[in-house]
Structure 1
Amino acid sequence: MSKAISTILGGALLVTGMASAAQAGGLERGGYNWDLLFDPSRVATEAGVIYVMPDRKFKNARDINPLDGRGADGIGGGSTSGHETPNYTIPRFGAKLGITSDLDCLGSYSEPWGVHTNPGADWVGANQNIETKIDSKDYGLTCSYKFDVGKGYLRAIGGVSYQEVEGFKERLVLGQVLQSPAAAFGFDGTGKLALKGDGWGWRIGAAYEIPDYAFRASFIYNAEIDLGRINGTIDVTEVPAAFANPLLPFAGRVIDVYGTATMPQSAEFRLQSGIAPGWLAFGSVKWVDWSVLNVVGFCSVTVANCVPSAYATSLDLMFQDGWTISGGVGHKFNDQWSGQVQLSWDRGTSTGLTTQTDTWLLSTGVAYTPNDKFEVRVGGAVGMLTSGEYGPPRSCPSRSGICGGDVAYDFGDDFVGALSLSAKLKF
């Protein structure tokens, strides 16, 4: 592959990764990225960071269940509008080694999954969410083997990943505490679920490349990752034990809980080709099986069979599958500089219990390559998070048989932006 095409492609991968981080649905953050595996150098290392600025706002919030809430029609008042999503950062690192002329292996660290919503405790939907945060770590090893086929070569790709997932959700579980004498002693009526799990996954794929034309078609399937038994705790010490009731039997206590969950399988097809001297076109289609995360229930460790009727609490997600379609072009300006632009669309994964609706994103980036050993890339993106609504209540396999029964609200078209910086060192 010529230096010109390599430089253009490097920037193209920058905007592709930034688009995924800024717009993906479900719990996707950095997603998966194995592009360093295709670098023609025998040894290549890459480190990068993406900073995402979503500005999702909610409005017209209504407290559906004032008995556990603090709405204007319930207990303690609260705002009916506000901001939901804080900014976040996604790091990544990879190191690729050409073991032989045909066998390459990539070791990688990424944070593929995550979410952070923080509307706070002073809105009418605090009984649905005060703060939720989930983080992940993925340690991957992916290898490919090349076979000469026609004018190019075919790669067989395979690998494994070990993932760690942890997080928490805090919400108001009993609004009456806010107007009781207990409030004077610092009790705020909140409860907090903390969880942690891990598991192994694998991937398989293939790619066909013709370096002289910068042509590559690749398809990679990532298997689901079964987190097995997720261990955690429910902390309800902010509710005095005197308020215990059949729906809140653990008031005043911290209990150990467990549940099960599976992170989704995914498949992605990517295509790129030189289209004129110094020009490259690229695009991708990705599917993620987010519907595997429906209702994630948690039971006390004293319960042998964790079925919906025994749930102490649950994360009600009810995602639908995600689809992402992207396309763009790159151009080499001179021996050191190239630029790229890309347009992406992501089908929202929400079925009414999250604010993850369709997203459009325009991203661009530049790559600077002063020599054959070093490359630095910077990029930016702007996009639109489309409007929708949360709720109304619906039937689901939760402890109460109802999901989204605490609050309802609307959200309009909102802005999302992202900045990216990465560097590659080759030997």
Structure 2
Amino acid sequence: MNKLLSTGAILASSTIAAHAGGLERADQSVLFMFEKGSYAEIALGHVNPSVSGSLDAAPSVTSGDMLESYTTGSLSYKTQLNDQWHVGIQLSEPHGADVAYPTSTDLPFPYGTAYPLQGTTAQVDITNLTAIVRYQANENVSVYGGMRVGTASGKVDIPLQGYTMSTNRQADYGYLAGVAYERPDIALRVALTYNSAITHEFSVEENGAPSLPFETTMPQSVNLEFQTGIAADTLLFGVVRWVDWSEFDISPAGYAMATGGDSLVSYDEDTVSYRLGIGRQFTDAWSGALTIGYEGQSSGFTGNLGPTNGYTTVGVAASYTHDNMKITAGIQYAAIGEANTDLGAFGTTTFDDNSAIGAGVRIGFSY
């Protein structure tokens, strides 16, 4: 079965994965390492979320669309040294955040209809550089592993609390390890990958002055990626991903002291997301795929800087190959789950009927 159908469709669906749990923007797939020979790839994705909520005590007081659209990408390269050894490198942006609550000319609630968090902004920028080695033990079994350096920085401005915070850009290290089983005769592959946590200790300024350093751990995760032929020129594929978001916490010293120990950002529960797709080879050059995805909702309140709670997605992708070039593009719609946030004296806010649209493209060259 043409690998354009298999790998291309799966990779496209990961490029356009719309607003997942936590700060997730990509699922850290290493499927490019299973390309034959030498392979280079560039991927770009753009996501436009539409997320707003209203105060439960005063539904006319709305937050406005508070998540900005973003573009993410990756560069990947691998080469095959011999029948057994493959090496690769990948530059990616797996996590991030762009929060911007709109401002209003009206008076703040309760004297007017301006949302209490108007003007609040937050940005998180994370980039990973990963080096991977894969060993093909035989036709069916391979193992792989590698090292990852993650660089991260963030800043926040909350006018309601008169609070600002910014960090340095910090680089720290983690690793990945995995095993795969393949049956080429039926296009079967099952790959299990563990990604370690990366802990950053940031230098920080709060309210314009140096403050105590604090630690944040980008969580560990596990990916189970699979595919299998189910009929002539037809492939079933999917991904199950667990992320240890309950270990993630941003608690600068000044903010925690001013709020009685509150976290700036934290998550109470881990996330498990699912993606399933079916791909079809139409001609030697063209193939396509349909995908659906799901991430369950967590209980309790979500943070005001990330008021999303699970999702359901549907997407389509198409792949075209010409000589050694492969182009895969797709679009995906996400219905974002209802989230509830706590604004203290202002009561609670419900964020519902929200969505996101994502589009992505991958261009790969084999040689």
> Distance in 2 between the 1:166 and 1:407 partners?
31
What is the match of residue 342 of structure 1?
291
The correspondence for 2:90, drawn from 93, 108, 117, is: 108
Query: Computing the radius of gyration over CA atoms, which structure comes out larger, 1 or 2?
Result: 1
SS of the counterpart of 2:293?
strand
CA deviations 1:99-148 (Å, max 9, x no partner) are 22111111000011111111134343228x70111010100011110112
What is the match of residue 48 of structure 1?
43
Question: Shift in Å at residue 407 of structure 1?
Answer: 5.5
> Distance in 1 between the 2:174 and 2:352 partners?
37
> Distance in 2 between the 1:258 and 1:206 partners?
37
> Distance in 1 between the 2:64 and 2:296 partners?
24
TM-score by length of 2: 0.89
The correspondence for 1:142, drawn from 132, 151, 157, is: 132
**Contact 2:300 2:340 (8 Å CA) reproduced:** no
Question: Where do 1:9-408 residues align within 5 Å?
Answer: 9-20=6-17, 22-40=18-36, 42-60=37-55, 80-122=62-104, 123-126=114-117, 130-148=120-138, 152-173=139-160, 190-196=162-168, 197-227=170-200, 229-235=201-207, 254-294=209-249, 296-299=250-253, 314-348=263-297, 351-354=300-303, 355-371=307-323, 373-391=324-342, 408=348
> Distance in 2 between the 1:233 and 1:137 partners?
22
Question: Shift in Å at residue 392 of structure 1?
Answer: 6.3
> Distance in 2 between the 1:391 and 1:368 partners?
48
Number of residue-to-residue matches in the alignment: 354
TM-score by length of 1: 0.77
- Report whether the alignment pairs 1:419 with 2:359: yes
Q: Name structure 2 gaps, 5 residues minimum.
A: 105-113
Question: Shift in Å at residue 339 of structure 1?
Answer: 0.2
**Contact 1:290 1:349 (8 Å CA) reproduced:** no
Question: Shift in Å at residue 319 of structure 1?
Answer: 3.5
Give 1:11's aligned amino acid: G
Give 1:226's aligned amino acid: T
CA deviations 1:345-387 (Å, max 9, x no partner) are 012457413322120000110000012x111111001120122
Question: Shift in Å at residue 388 of structure 1?
Answer: 2.9
Change in Cα spacing, 1:308 to 1:235, as seen in structure 2 (3 Å) is closer
Question: Shift in Å at residue 275 of structure 1?
Answer: 1.1
CA deviations 1:246-279 (Å, max 9, x no partner) are xxxxxxxx23441111110001112211111111
Question: Shift in Å at residue 391 of structure 1?
Answer: 1.9
Give 1:13's aligned amino acid: I
**Contact 1:25 1:348 (8 Å CA) reproduced:** no
Once the two structures are overlaid, the 10-residue window that deviates more, 24-33 or 154-163, is 24-33
SS of the counterpart of 1:353?
coil
> Distance in 2 between the 1:61 and 1:194 partners?
31
Change in Cα spacing, 1:11 to 1:292, as seen in structure 2 (3 Å) is same
Aligned-residue RMSD, C-alpha: 2.5
> Distance in 1 between the 2:311 and 2:226 partners?
22
